[in-house]
Amino acid sequence: DLSGHSSGELLTCVRPPMRPPGPGSPEGDRSFHLPDFVAGRTSRTIYRADMLEHREWWRAVREIAAAGAHVRVATDVPTKLVVVPGKAAMMPLDFDTQDSNNGLLVREPTLVGVLAELFELVWERAMPFSALDPPAERPGQGAGHDVLALLATGSKDEKIARQLDLSLRTVRRHVASLL
């Protein structure tokens, strides 16, 4: 938990797998805001570009940027990452899950410095969010489209549910609507 580090810049990298915010997600339709421990500090966040193809993510990132965060977008974000330079960093133990409860908290100054430098290298190559156009509405976009794409590869319902972080019931509803 980095909330105890109440001062200093916050550097964040965001990449899949993550469920798009909005209807059907645990967050529901609530508006998006920066966590309380971010208040009063400079925040820079890099999102992987393919996340912003989902209109829900686009809206969420737009609101976060409007709240004062500096946001950029990169085609390659190597890991999910949160860094308070000179103090601490957190990264996932498993890159293929969105479980934020299984992370590695790093306090060793050299490693925190290396992770902050990794962030800076990606930040330099990333494009400002404000320079991007919103995604166009495309038919078939969203969870139903993702379920269909995974079905086409031969994946079973259970595997699709795990991969998209959806309930098995939700996956089966999408499958039933396709039939």
10-residue stretch averages of pLDDT, the chain, 179 residues long: 64 81 45 49 88 82 86 92 91 68 86 96 92 58 69 82 78 80
* Helices and strands of the chain, counted as H and E runs: 5, 7
Dist. CA 45–CA 61, nearest whole Å:
10
Place of tokens 């330079």: 85
Q: Check if the beta carbon of residue 143 is closer than 8 Å to that of residue 174.
A: yes
What single-letter DSSP state applies at residue 31?
P
Percentage of residues in the chain with pLDDT exceeding 70? 72
The pLDDT score that the predictor gives to residue 103 is 82
Which residues are CB-contacts of 108 (< 8 A; sequence separation ≥ 6)?
A: none
The pLDDT score that the predictor gives to residue 138 is 44
Can you read off the two tokens belonging to residue 156?
A: 């079973």
Residue type, 124: E
Three-class HEC string of 32-79: CCCCHHHCCCCEEEEEEHHHHHCHHHHHHHHHHHHCCCEEEEECCCCC
The pLDDT score that the predictor gives to residue 63 is 85
Strand partners, 14: 47
Dist. CA 12–CA 72, nearest whole Å:
10
3-state SS, residue 7: coil
The pLDDT score that the predictor gives to residue 108 is 96
Which residues are CB-contacts of 120 (< 8 A; sequence separation ≥ 6)?
A: none
Sign of the torsion formed by the C-alpha atoms of 83, 86, 87 and 88: positive
Q: Check if the beta carbon of residue 55 is closer than 8 Å to that of residue 44.
A: no
- Give the CA angle between residues 160, 139, 176 to the nearest 5°: 40
